[in-house]
Structure 1
Amino acid sequence: MTYWHALILAIVEGLTEFLPVSSTGHMIIASALMGIPATAFTKLYLVVIQLGAILSVLVIYWRRFLQSFDFYLKLLVAFLPVVVVGLTLKKYIDILLESVTTVGLMLLLGGIVLMFVDKWFPQESTEEGGHPVTMPSFRQALVIGVFQCLAVVPGVSRSAATIIGGLTQKLTRKAAAEFAFFLAMPTMAAAAAKDLLDFYQDGGRLTGAEVKLILFGNVVAFVVALLAIRLFIGFVTKFGFRAFGIYRIIVGGILLVMIGLGIDLQLI
């Protein structure tokens, strides 16, 4: 992997991590189009640079992380389901991570769902008392965590799954998106730690050049994600999710057509 490859993948990660379009799916597509070999380091890089993106959440919302202890307990409750699913199905998840066909199909199906989300969950979602729901209860956090489990399939989008989960629990669009951002921190940090551990247990060792690539990628992903988060919150609050659904359907459809025509997009 060159610095050019690292730069493009980090920009893709920063732009898409918090959008309901699947950052993993887009990085798999970008890797395939650039012909990046599916080495152990490449797979590790695709996960570890997510740390830079999620760090942007801490920078933007640092005051929210000074809230009551309940805030962290709710994140823990929402985080636990994906831990169980991830550890149980990791072998199968790793196989799916190499499939552009899976990404294309999930982008298409997820796009169709997003086309109707605004209709299913019109704003503003409110409690019985008429006040907008801006923070989930423990039960609601668990339901959102179960929705996040859908994102172990590449192309589904962790952001989309958790946001929709939040909307089903009557959170406002903004609150659902923000809780999805917060939940990304323990989820992505755990995924990166697990992949690093597996990498070393399998005999892998990072060279100095590879460490520099990872640091470079994280810095780029962090800067790009800072901009993406602010733009996304404003856009989705005002316009909803339909545009993202259209985008997903177009990209997923193009991928499936290319694969159907015999164009090899698999990671090599």
Structure 2
Amino acid sequence: MDNIFLAAVLGLLEGLTEFIPVSSTGHLLLAGHFLGFDSPGNTFEVVIQLGAVLALISLYAAKLTGLALRARTDPAAMRSLLSLLIAFLPAVFIGLLAHDFIKTVLFDTPMLIAVMLIVGGVILLMIDRIAPPPVHFDATGLPLRKALVIGICQCVAMIPGVSRSGATIVGALMLGVEKRAAAEFSFLLSLPTMGAAVAYDLFKSRDLLDFSAMADIAVGFAVAFVSAVLVVRAVLGFVGRHGYAVFGWWRIIVGTIAVIALSAGA
């Protein structure tokens, strides 16, 4: 199969799944395994994530800039920025400690990824039913203590297949954050988290990075950017109306297919 086409497929997969609770990393790793796509030093996978990050920046730049400009004189704006920082810090701590184990062991275990997709899907279905009534409706107005708990939940997503957005959304829902606000806080938290993760991956893998297939990388990057913009714009309204059950079923179906295929030796 032509590498440019594969790059476009994987870029689309990254953009479509990065900001919904289905695990973009899990989908990319499984797709790469089954399609036989090899990227020396994981250069392709790292760079196309930047496309998704830039998509989110383009959509939230005005909001974040406004918060930063008001922070000096507006305590609420300062608290909003502080809540994101506090939620981000646990991932920094765990990520620095466990980076090599995650990348060299967990990322090379397709069956673990498939099983975590299924487990996460079941949890999403349960949480969508049992989450307490919401008491927080503004993603930029969460109490600092609850922001920290959501940040701790995010650390579970370092296991591929769990989903960073899934872990943060589940944590937020159980803390009484409304469904749309939970998704938006997850989006905002992904900016420092993904930005730092990509930068650290590039630094740690600097001797292994291979940019020889620039055409593949450029196509994947562009497709990831465009598809991520479309998903972020659509998903807030969707979860506000329909909740997260559809993503739970998606995870269970994809994970089950992957388990069957892997068990058959694929």
Fold equivalence (TM over 0.5): yes
Counterparts in 2 of 1:46-195, with a 5 A limit? 46-65=45-64, 66-67=66-67, 68-94=77-103, 95-121=105-131, 125-126=134-135, 132-134=137-139, 135-195=141-201
TM-score by length of 1: 0.88
Aligned to 1:8: 9
Query: Contact 2:50–2:198 at 8 Å: present in 1 too?
Result: yes
Matched residues in 1 for 2:54 and 2:32: separation? 23
Q: Does 1:24 align with 2:25?
A: yes
* 8 Å contact kept, 1:44–1:195: no
Residues 1:252 and 2:255 aligned together = yes
- Measured after TM superposition, the shift of residue 54 of structure 1 is 2.0
Looking at structure 1, the residues matched to 227 and 108 of structure 2 have their Cα atoms a distance apart, in angstroms, of: 25
Show the counterpart of 1:219.
Answer: 222
2:234 aligned with 1:231 = yes
Which ranges in structure 1 are unaligned for 5 or more consecutive residues? none
Read off the aligned partner of 2:124 and give its amino acid letter: L
Residue 102 of structure 1, CA deviation: 1.0
Segment of structure 1 superposing worse, 212-221 or 75-84: 212-221
User: Separation in 2 of the partners of 1:205 and 1:92?
Assistant: 19
Distance in 1 between residues matched to 2:213 and 2:188, nearest whole Å: 29
Aligned position for 2:71: none
AA of the residue aligned to 1:34: L
Partner of residue 70, structure 2: none
Q: Distance in 2 between matches of 1:79 and 1:251?
A: 29
Give secondary structure in 2 for the equivalent of 1:61.
helix
Structure 2 unaligned spans of 5+: 68-76
Deviation string for 1:64-97 (max 9, x for gaps)? 2011333322211111101111111112211111
Counterpart code for 2:17:
T
Moved over 6 A (4+): none
CA gap 1:73/1:212 in 2 versus in 1, 3 angstroms: farther
Name the CA distance, whole Å, in 1 between partners of 2:19 and 2:35: 23
Q: Deviations over 1:174-197 (max 9, x none)?
A: 111001001111111111111111
Structure-2-length-normalised TM-score: 0.89
- Describe the superposition over 1:76-132 as per-residue Cα deviations: whole angstroms up to 9, x where unpaired: 111110111111111221111122101110000001111111211255x016xxxx3
The residue identity in structure 2 corresponding to 1:101 is M
What is the alpha-carbon distance in structure 1 between the residues aligned to residue 29 and residue 13 of structure 2? 10
Give the SS at the match of 1:154: coil
